[in-house]
Amino acid sequence: MPDEIRRLSDDLARDPSSLVFMPLAEALRRAGQLDVALRVAVRGLDRHPYLPDAHDVLARIHADRGDLERASDEWEMALRLDPSHAQANLGLGFIEFRRGDLESAERRLSTVPPAEQTPGVAAALAHVRSALGARPAKGAAVVMPNGSPPAEATVVSPPLAPSEAMAPAESVVVRETPAPAPAAPEQATPRTTRSVPELPAPDPSRTKQLFDSVLDGSGQYALLVDADGLVLAGAYTDATGKDVAEVIAAELAGVSSEAERAMRHLGLGAWTSLLVEAHEAIVAMTPAPNASLLVVTAARTTPVGLVRLLLDRALARARDWLVRVS
Amino acid sequence: MTKTPYAELLAMLSRHRGVVGSFVVSERDGLAVDSNVQIGVHAEAVAALAASLHRKARLACGAAGCGVVTFLRLDAEKGGICAAGRDDLVLVTISEARANIGLLRVEMMRAAKALT
């Protein structure tokens, strides 16, 4: 591996505009040199921003670093550039599985064409389908296909030859924690086992605090609203301290379906976010599972990029929560 | 054919990279006042939906104490809609993913101030 890295580094030094940055970044990633891999990939993408494979490599690096949000962004970018990109679908499928969105994960993984279905993909798909089939009733334990105890269900990564090892299969840590733990380097052993602690039953009295852990509290609010404009979770108080969550939710009833219809008329695909800038605040919305709508607001001085990041975090939280209550 | 006061403005917005249509719409009834769209764009339907979205956003922001809505952006997989309103009129653009939204936003917010 060091020889390969040295050779690829030399090639890149000779021709910085070449595409050799991709195999170099990938080799560095596999060698566990994630910071260097990240620099190489980002610099390469500066020169070649429209290469889906380059975004895929960067996504794997982010995934190995435990930054699933950015990994997801990069795989989504790869799919925008190449809607049939199998590795990007695979990566997003694993992230959705990690978030508990099994239906989406199954859909994603199913899009990988049979010709590109390595044993790893097939095993992952079988695993997700099995988990879907074994989805328990509300509050019951998750029973995984290997028959492990409910409170400590396990996900078994598929056996992968080194040549077909994929970042998602090896990097995504399937663990229910607020922040993704850094992924372990790729294992030499063919099978790895990671634990999924059982999700606790939701406490209805705590739904208002659902998003507290993803907001920093300085004028930021998040609300999960159902298709009828009813509050599912979260809270919103106005400047006087009055709870106005239900009023806001009612005003936003139908936003999701109207956005969907507008995009359908235009043939622009599924809507992903709605950002509203107002004099005093920025309001960001995104579709959430079960036809619900997630709304995040922040002070007008908050950078728009940060609001979007908050929205992504809140969405992950909402998905996890909805899996538990539905 | 009579040109409306918005024809120049809409033509200018439609010249932006990736913009496939722009129109001025009444937020109250969702009817397009003027439009400049490429063939195949369902201007009337989109105008009505964009106006409705703007109205909902305005009312929700009012309820939340967020103040007056200055700009709205709906993103989708292959593009999106931007809207900037003043009083009852909303300026709307439809764009593909390759559009420079930052530049378009500045132009639209400037143009919206001139809407009467």
- Quick: pLDDT tens for A243-253: 889 988 998 88
Say which of A258, A265, A297 has its CB closest to residue B64.
A297
Say which of B65, B72, B97 has its CB closest to residue A276.
B72
The ipTM of this complex is: 0.90
* Arithmetic mean of pLDDT over chain A: 74
| % of residues, chain B, pLDDT over 90 | 50
Indicate which of B71, B75, B104 best probes the interface with A, i.e. most A CBs within 10 Å of its own CB: B75
Q: Do B69 and A278 touch (CB under 8 A)?
A: yes
Say which of B63, B64, B80 has its CB closest to residue A268.
B80
Q: Do B78 and A269 touch (CB under 8 A)?
A: yes
A86-99 and A304-325 helices cross at what angle (nearest 10)? 60
d(CA A128, CA B66): 42
**Most confidently modeled of A12-21, A156-165, B18-27?**
B18-27
**Mean pLDDT in residue range A274-278:** 93
Query: Residue A186's pLDDT band (boundaries 50, 70, 90)?
Result: very low
d(CA B42, CA B22): 11
Show residues of chain A in contact with B96, CB under 8 Å: 268
Q: Do A283 and B97 touch (CB under 8 A)?
A: no
Alpha-helical (H) ranges within chain A are 2-14, 21-30, 34-47, 52-64, 68-81, 86-99, 102-110, 119-133, 167-171, 245-251, 255-266, 304-325
d(CA A59, CA A74): 5
Show residues of chain A in contact with B64, CB under 8 Å: 236, 238, 244, 248, 281, 283, 297
Q: Do B64 and A236 touch (CB under 8 A)?
A: yes
The confidence score (pLDDT) of residue A122 equals: 72
Q: Do A274 and B59 touch (CB under 8 A)?
A: no
The confidence score (pLDDT) of residue B20 equals: 92
The confidence score (pLDDT) of residue A326 equals: 65
CA-based angle A313:A317:A321, to the nearest 5? 170
Q: Which residues contact A236 (CB under 8 A, 6 or more apart)?
A: A221, A223, A243, A244, A245, A248, A297, B64
The confidence score (pLDDT) of residue A178 equals: 35
**Model-level pTM?**
0.54
pLDDT at A144 over 60: no
Query: Residue A1's pLDDT band (boundaries 50, 70, 90)?
Result: low
Show residues of chain A in contact with B66, CB under 8 Å: 276, 278-281, 283, 297
For the stretch A39-54, pLDDT in tens is: 899 888 877 877 889 9
Flag whether residue A137 sits within 8 Å of chain B, measured between CB atoms. Answer: no
Tokens of A165: 């090892």
Q: Do A248 and B81 touch (CB under 8 A)?
A: no
Q: Do B67 and A279 touch (CB under 8 A)?
A: yes
Q: Do B56 and A268 touch (CB under 8 A)?
A: no
**Mean pLDDT in residue range A216-220:** 77
How far does CA B23 lie from the centroid of its chain? 6
pLDDT at A21 over 80: yes
Q: Are strands A271-278 and A281-288 parallel, antiparallel or unpaired?
A: antiparallel
Q: Do A238 and B73 touch (CB under 8 A)?
A: no
Q: Mind telling me how many Å the CA of B6 is from chain A's nearest CA?
A: 23
pLDDT at B22 over 90: yes
Flag whether residue A255 sits within 8 Å of chain B, measured between CB atoms. Answer: yes
Q: Do A244 and B75 touch (CB under 8 A)?
A: no
